[in-house]
Amino acid sequence: MSSTYVMHRSLRNTPPVATRGKGVWLYDAGGNAWLDGSGGAAVSCLGHGHPAVIDAMHRQIDQLAYAHTGFFTTEPAETLAQRLVDDAPGDASHAYFVSGGSEAIEAALKMARQYFVEIGQPQRTHIIARRQSYHGNTLGALAVGGNEWRRQQFAPLLIDVAHVSPCYEYRDRHENETAEQYSQRLVRELEDTILKLGADKVIAFCAEPIVGATAGALPPTPGYFKGVREICDKYGILLIADEVMCGMGRTGTLYAVEQEDIVPDLITIAKGLGGGYQPIGAVVVQKRIADAMQKGTGFFQHGHTYIGHATACAAALAVQNVIRDENLLERVRQLSLVLQQELRERFSGHPHVGDIRGRGLFFGLELVKDRATKQVFDPALQLHARVKREAFARGLMVYPMGGTIDGRQGDHILLAPPFIITENEIDMLVQRLAAAIQAAIESLPA
């Protein structure tokens, strides 16, 4: 059977047809099973087929599937928004619901811009982001992201965004500097960029607290985000934390920035918010931003048909209730130790695993040709895609990343299993991954 719709993967090949999911497992019609080691793309935080979420969705659809926000609000949307702002750092007052991560970024960018128009600083027009980043595939989000491979052919359509260096300790920290000094160097670069653009011309700095889709769970170095926050405050610039991938418990705290001890002005969330049960994303908004819009225009000048979708909000609320009621953040922190230990036992001496990094149940492996020099494999070999293929053939889903990133090529593998994974399943995941990496490397031309 050829696919009439999977154009974004291949117009030539068709993937297997997924028919059923239960826990950390996905099945096709033939009964083949795959361990969902990446939660899809760090989405399925509760795994598949969770009865509490399904039940909440049933009840909501029965009562009311959808009511347009131009006329109504709904109880699940209100309850979910309240939960998100109560649990968010700082003085958050509103959550603005959209249908996914890219939409959340678009909304955050526009909200940041509107904020400055409201407070009488319309001259602020610049966005700063980082070269090694992914913020989504719509034109605004793509412009903010730094993934060159994704940007290339659309570059003429993208707004001008200034990109600074990523926080990429494995490759970029100098031998003679500490991690803290490296953080400071990056923060100075951000400040220089702000000054070059004009301190009163910048709207926001946008960054993923833990980089996901371009680098396989890359955490910041100590003090980096504190320094970033200080610089943003110094020049009155907003900080947008993109937690679309790393948020909602994935790193062991509900919001990843909690571990950086900072309060972003806007936080975007998506994947783990609805856990894949419904498409939903959100922007979590600090009160002073919402207050400015309330005093000014009186509303956020934005909107899509499906914002605040009642069934999506009910599903997300159920997901968040399960995370809270089943104490899953604690479980993520415990299982993180198990996963780390297994990864280190398996791969710390591996000749082609250069770096193992991450937090919570969000880990990345960076594959290299030579550990000592950190030399990458020839990008034409597409090693990351080979690992994905070999893993899939062994009943394991892992998320591969490659292509040009920050002017460099690399092969990265992202792991983001559901929070309900067991220790035995972690063991199976790591074993299958090791076999897949081995087979992928053996498949390379001599």
Which residues lie closer than 8 Å to 9 by C-beta, 6 or more apart? 15
Span interacting with ligand PMP, options 131-139, 219-227, 250-258, 369-377, rule CB under 6 A:
131-139
Instruction: Say whether residue 134 binds ligand PMP (CB under 6 A).
Output: yes
241 forms part of the interface with ligand PMP (CB under 6 A): no
Q: Cβ–Cβ contacts within 10 Å for residue 416, how many?
A: 32
Q: Rule CB under 6 A: is residue 245 a binding residue for ligand PMP?
A: yes
The number of beta carbons lying within 10 Å of the beta carbon of residue 372 is 8
Residues with Cβ within 8 Å of residue 129, at least 6 apart in sequence: 135, 144, 145, 146, 161, 162, 163, 164, 205, 206, 207
Using CB under 6 A as the binding criterion, the count of chain residues that bind ligand PMP stands at: 15
CB 160 within 8 A of CB 174: no
Distance of closest approach, residue 276 Cβ to ligand PMP, in angstroms:
11
213 part of the interface to ligand PMP, by CB under 6 A: yes
Our CB check for ligand PMP shows the closer of 357 and 432 to be 357
Least Å distance between CB 109 and ligand PMP? 12
Residue 102 CB, shortest distance to ligand PMP, in Å, is 3
Contact of 332 with 360, CB cutoff 8 Å: yes
Cβ atoms of 290 and 298 closer than 8 Å: no
Sign, CA dihedral 123-264-406-270, equals negative
Residue 359 C-beta: closest distance to ligand PMP, Å: 15
How many angstroms separate the CA atoms of 399 and 134, rounded? 14
Can you list the positions of beta strands (E) in 160-289?
162-164, 202-207, 238-243, 266-269, 281-286
From the CB of 99, what's the least distance to ligand PMP, in Å? 8
Q: Which of 111, 144, 239, 244 binds ligand PMP (CB under 6 A)?
A: 244
Q: Which is nearer to ligand PMP, 8 or 174 (CB)?
A: 8
Please, which of residues 39-78 interact with ligand PMP by CB under 6 A?
Answer: 41
106 lies in the binding site for ligand PMP (CB under 6 A): no
Stretch of 96-104, 178-186, 399-407, 427-435 contacting ligand PMP, by CB under 6 A = 96-104
Q: Rounded CA gap, 261 and 347, in Å?
A: 31
Q: Is the dihedral of CA 236, 245, 403, 184 positive or negative?
A: positive
Give me 424's structure tokens: 């035995």
Per CB under 6 A, contacts with ligand PMP among 22-41 are 41
User: In terms of C-beta density within 10 A (0-12 exposed, 13-18 middle, 19 or more buried), how is residue 373 classed?
Assistant: exposed
- The smaller minimum CB distance to ligand PMP, of residues 113 and 271, is found at 271
Please, which residue, 186 or 211, has the CB nearer to ligand PMP? 211
Out of 270, 322, 397, 413, name the contact with ligand PMP by CB under 6 A. 270
With binding defined as CB under 6 A, does residue 89 bind ligand PMP?
A: no
Shortest Å, Cβ 137 to ligand PMP: 6
Q: Give the neighbor-by-neighbor strand order of the sheet with 353-359.
A: 353-359, 362-367, 411-415, 399-401
Site membership for ligand PMP, residue 197 (CB under 6 A): no
Pick the closest to residue 273 from 225, 309, 238 (CA basis).
Answer: 309
Nearer to ligand PMP by Cβ, of 270 and 430: the residue is 270
Can you tell me whether residue 248 is helix, strand or coil? coil
The smaller minimum CB distance to ligand PMP, of residues 89 and 140, is found at 140
State which of residues 46, 77, 105, 129 lies at the interface with ligand PMP (CB under 6 A). Answer: 105
Residue whose CB is less far from ligand PMP, 191 or 278: 278
Stretch that binds ligand PMP, among 73-81, 119-127, 237-245, 298-306 (CB under 6 A): 237-245
The H or E element spanning position 117 is helix 101-118
Tell the residue number behind the tokens 């198990």, with chain if given: 338
The answer to the question of residue 139 lying near ligand PMP (CB under 6 A) is no
Asked if residue 101 binds ligand PMP (CB under 6 A), the reply is yes
CA distance to 42, 48, 413, 425, 429, per residue, from 418 (Å): 8, 9, 16, 11, 12
Residue number closest to ligand PMP, CB atom: 101
Which range touches ligand PMP (CB under 6 A), out of 3-11, 49-57, 134-142, 420-428? 134-142
Residue numbers of the site for ligand PMP (CB under 6 A)?
Answer: 41, 100-102, 105, 134-136, 208, 212-213, 242, 244-245, 270
